[in-house]
Chains A and B, each alone.
Chain A
């Protein structure tokens, strides 16, 4: 008998329905899976066989053909285990049939997702959240997921979601046992960031802390330059604790990517705080942008709506850094491979740190730099102009002196800073409502013209800054954007000369070019 069970698969972040067809016919006993399965699916034959047997059903040797339709797209992962097992049970008339042994129509109301263990338990799978969203959009009414995925599924409304623990559970469901769908709940945002240092433990470094606040408020890319031991990495680690709350839309977008990648926190089920990713500098290009045969997302997509922290920027291979240029500009990355082409969102804030020279002590007050001018130039030139061009804030992070370490000063905690950042971000959200821009950093030229109007005093000081400090033209729009954020933090609608003057302070690399 032929059985058809619905399941779902992903292409990037978009889902599409897959029909698992199981047919039993005469011939030498074997199980064949067709429909471009990958190794994990081919192995599911063994898992399904054991799961069926260990759940107490009959598994006599037969010739079984399993087809995953549509047959032209590549399928991957163990997600079809449950559907294949159910298909076998239905086709051997052990499940999904009424008293007269005719198949129940209700079987096809459900979409089944899940991996099986040999004992017949249904195990967690990746990518449930985007599949649920896609299924809902395509009109699916009922979907069955592993119980372990319940945490990420519970935020999806307007679709009946059933969680099953074992193969027997699933069989009971299609046999008509009454089950209630899982309860939905609201996304609770703004939880305390897990991990990350509190800003109050950073001694001194007032200027750097202020720059981080501005960067967090406006979503600006920032680079920290300084000698070893200055606390660049520690400052960066404080960043998660001052990043603004996510909106619900942002949280769902980021969760989708994390779900596909399988890096979602199971206990929480949704990303409620902005991701902070810090890939090591041995990271490959593919790991950063995404790719592989199945075009998986990479680090820049993992950090969507959050922070991508690149410590020791010049240590990254040039080719790895250059690929950041286009995503930094567009906020998306298109990963194209022979089999498929997928667009992943990659709207991240770049935070980078670097030493001023190979030995690390150029310009240091306490150490002698031993590098030759050409070495320094070579080191700096590892970061290309176009990449620096996309970084709004440059700050020098100085070494910390012993006095600063021991001094008891009442510095602000991250919570205080975060309150200001949230207020500034709220102003921006209101300003850019109805556009796909969320922060000052992503303003278009048209918006800059509209929202970054300088008064006469502001114009004067900017003009003077260009003349006196030898700023490059590329600095112009960067300063305007940063000045806008400073004004937002200040709670002002208009940018004043004070805001411009402060923004000028964060262009140390431009000044160095002189």
Chain B
């Protein structure tokens, strides 16, 4: 048996990764395979683990699994392979024996940054994610978890900016969820990388999602938390990042908003506050390759709206009062500014300069 097949055996035995790694500390995979029938091993394992390993310790079974993966276009990389992401091969990460993936594994060679946050994103969170990731994607591979909310926005923004993105699933590759992001999943498989430590047929459970968070942070040099409440799963990712010695970045938010409590709390405890992509570029001494927006010739009305907004975010009604324009004039000017990208709608009916 080659070493990679042995790792596949361990993965297909469906023993928790933590147990596998504890086992591998004592002996190598080939030792385990060869001397499996020895009493010494039998007594050192609990019944369940022993049973799972014994059941799958079958060369034919492993070959069948390999054939199955190949015929379903699922690629995999084991810890025996040189292309196994080196960032993961660290004790704190609890590296999985095998990673199953679709897409291009080489994008992990680029510096990676995780962008995570609540599933219940606000318009603010969505805007901040899109804006920041569009810039970050020029230098970083954006890693996230394919969930609704911030995760999805981060993937989409990275793809839209022509950057690379990695989705780490909490289930097998055949059971990507949520359904609303399946189109996104397909696109990521085409233009990025979707990977999972679980065998393709594994269904997600409430335990698998927190488990995969360690891989999100493990792959990256830093984790950016955009919006999170106190109980958000993205805080688990931030904790993993701390355990693994990764950097934690957080976007500050309104102190009254539930969705900002988690991130504000992170900052309180020493996370690096991020208000623009440049904060991260500067931290890693990477150059922001974002093109400066082309200067647009603004007419008088557009200029006065922009001036009014430079004084702070305003609602449509407030702009009417401040600029002293008629509603059609303001509509036209504001629409043009939105289209040029000089102004954006921060939340419903609240406009601010980009």
Contact = CB atoms under 8 A, between A and B. Distances in A.
B119 interface: yes
A498 interface: yes
B338 A210 contact: no
A511 to B, nearest CB: 8
B120 A505 contact: no
A365 B347 CA distance: 8
A373 B335 CA distance: 28
A363 B339 contact: no
B83 interface: no
A206 B320 contact: yes
Contact of B328 (A365, A372, A490): A490
A363 B348 contact: yes
A338 to B, nearest CB: 43
B77 interface: no
Size band of the interface chain B makes with A: 20 to 34
B347 A501 contact: no
Nearest to B123: A363
B233 to A, nearest CB: 14
B304 interface: no
A507 to B, nearest CB: 10
Contact of A372 (B120, B123, B348): B120
B334 interface: yes
Interface string A180-209: 000000000000000000000000111101
Nearest to B152: A373
A218 to B, nearest CB: 14
Contacts of B257: 368
Chain B contact surface mostly: helix
B339 A205 contact: no
Contacts of A371: 120
A468 B316 CA distance: 20
B338 A469 contact: yes
Contact of A469 (B122, B149, B339): B339
A396 interface: yes
Interface string B132-151: 00000000000000001100
Interface in A490-513: 490, 498-499, 501-502, 504-505
Given A365-B347, A468-B339, A210 B258 contact: no
Contact of B327 (A210, A398, A409): A210
Contacts of A226: 348
A368 B258 contact: yes
B327 A207 contact: yes
B336 interface: yes
B328 A502 contact: yes
B7 to A, nearest CB: 37
B324 interface: no
A239 B339 CA distance: 30
B339 A501 contact: yes
Contacts, number: 84
A226 B349 CA distance: 10
B348 A501 contact: no
Given A396-B349, A501-B335, A207 B328 contact: no
Size band of the interface chain A makes with B: 35 or more
Chain A contact surface mostly: helix
A461 interface: yes
A204 B348 contact: no
Nearest to A466: B339
B350 interface: yes
A85 B151 CA distance: 80
A13 B315 CA distance: 50
Interface in B311-354: 315-317, 320-321, 327-328, 330-336, 338-341, 347-350
A505 B331 contact: yes
Nearest to A460: B339
A504 B339 CA distance: 9
A106 interface: no
Given A204-B317, A373-B120, A404-B317, A502 B349 contact: no
A210 B328 contact: yes
Given A363-B348, A505-B334, A486 B328 contact: yes
Interface string A465-482: 100110000000000000
A377 interface: yes
Nearest to A205: B317
A498 B332 contact: yes
Given A207-B327, A373-B149, A396-B348, A502 B316 contact: no
A461 B336 contact: yes
Nearest to B333: A501
Nearest to B350: A365
Contact of A461 (B122, B317, B339): B339
B180 interface: yes
A40 interface: no
A269 B350 CA distance: 48
Contacts of A409: 321
Contacts of B119: 372-373
Nearest to B337: A501
B148 A398 contact: no
Interface string A95-130: 000000000000000000000000000000000000
Contact of B347 (A209, A363, A461): A363
Contacts of A489: 328
Contacts of B348: 226, 356, 363-365, 396, 398
Contact of B317 (A206, A368, A373, A499): A206
A464 interface: yes
Interface of A: 204-207, 209-210, 226, 356, 363-365, 368-369, 371-374, 377, 396, 398, 404, 409, 461, 464-465, 468-469, 486, 489-490, 498-499, 501-502, 504-505
Given A364-B348, A504-B338, 13 more contacts: A206-B330, A207-B316, A207-B349, A365-B348, A371-B120, A373-B121, A404-B317, A465-B335, A468-B341, A498-B332, A499-B332, A501-B333, A504-B339
Closest 7 CB pairs of A and B: A363-B348, A501-B335, A398-B349, A210-B327, A502-B331, A498-B332, A204-B317
5 contacts: A204-B317, A365-B347, A372-B120, A465-B335, A468-B341
